[in-house]
């Protein structure tokens, strides 16, 4: 089951439609590190990470693993581990995946700029839990917790998330 994302903050999974948050700069065709935009494209759903101390493993056909407190993601374009998971502490710029807030209690790793990573073309583009009020992300797609769980239950190997440039769908 593919996940379709539209610029008018809608996500469609099968016959279900959900509200979502997108990057604060909207949707963009040419993603750049730090631009705050959600990239247009079709991205494989790689795997799911979750905070086992806060949520049960989500029901999904995708590979899933529990997060650890030292999990991070490198966002330094000049680092050899750019747009890859890293163990913390890490000397280059990175994002901490074990957060105090709940937005990364469930994370879907998307196959954006990862095969291989191109420096500066964007890192850490995930599907994750939305903040209250669906405030903008740094480029990710975010859903309410229950909506994310519903979407994941329909997903399995070979599925994708597609970000569409227009709002039609």
Whether residue 93 lies inside any domain: the answer is: yes
Residue 15 has pLDDT above 90, yes or no: yes
Residue 166 has pLDDT above 90, yes or no: no
36 CB-near residues (< 8 Å, 6+ apart) = 23, 24, 25, 136, 138, 139
Whether residue 168 lies inside any domain: the answer is: no
Q: How many structural domains comprise the chain?
A: 1
8 A C-beta contact, residue 21 and residue 142: yes
116 CB-near residues (< 8 Å, 6+ apart) = none
Query: Could you give the CA distance from residue 26 to residue 63 in angstroms, rounded to a whole number?
Result: 29
pLDDT at 31: 97
pLDDT band at 168 (very low <50, low <70, confident <90, very high): low
Whether residue 67 lies inside any domain: the answer is: yes
What digits encode the pLDDT tens for the residues 25-80?
A: 999 999 999 999 999 999 999 999 999 999 999 999 999 999 999 999 999 999 99
Whether residue 77 lies inside any domain: the answer is: yes
CATH of the domain at 140: 2.40.440
pTM: 0.97
Whether residue 27 lies inside any domain: the answer is: yes
What digits encode the pLDDT tens for the residues 122-165?
A: 999 999 999 999 999 999 999 999 999 999 999 999 999 999 99
Handedness of CA 37, 19, 159, 106 (dihedral sign): positive
Whether residue 83 lies inside any domain: the answer is: yes
What digits encode the pLDDT tens for the residues 80-106?
A: 999 999 999 999 999 999 999 999 999
Closest by CA to 95, choosing from 120, 78, 70, is 70
Whether residue 113 lies inside any domain: the answer is: yes
Q: What range does the domain containing 99 cover? A: 3-163
Position with higher pLDDT, 45 vs 169: 45
């Amino acid at each position: 089951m593919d996940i379709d994302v539209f610029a008018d903050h809608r996500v469609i999974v099968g016959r279900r439609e959900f509200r979502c948050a997108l990057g604060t700069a909207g949707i963009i065709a040419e993603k750049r590190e730090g631009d705050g935009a959600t990239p247009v494209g079709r991205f494989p759903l790689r795997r799911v990470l979750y905070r086992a101390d806060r949520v049960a493993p989500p029901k999904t056909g995708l590979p899933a693993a529990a997060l650890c407190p030292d999990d991070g993601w490198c966002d330094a374009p000049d680092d050899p581990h750019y747009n890859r998971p890293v163990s913390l502490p890490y000397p280059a710029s990175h994002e901490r995946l074990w957060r105090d807030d709940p937005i990364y209690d469930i994370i879907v790793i998307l196959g954006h700029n990862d095969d291989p990573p191109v420096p500066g073309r964007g890192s850490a583009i995930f599907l994750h839990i939305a903040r209250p009020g669906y405030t903008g992300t740094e480029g990710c797609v975010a859903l309410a917790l229950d909506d994310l769980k519903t979407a994941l239950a329909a997903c399995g190997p070979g599925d994708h998330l597609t970000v569409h440039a227009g709002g039609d769908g």
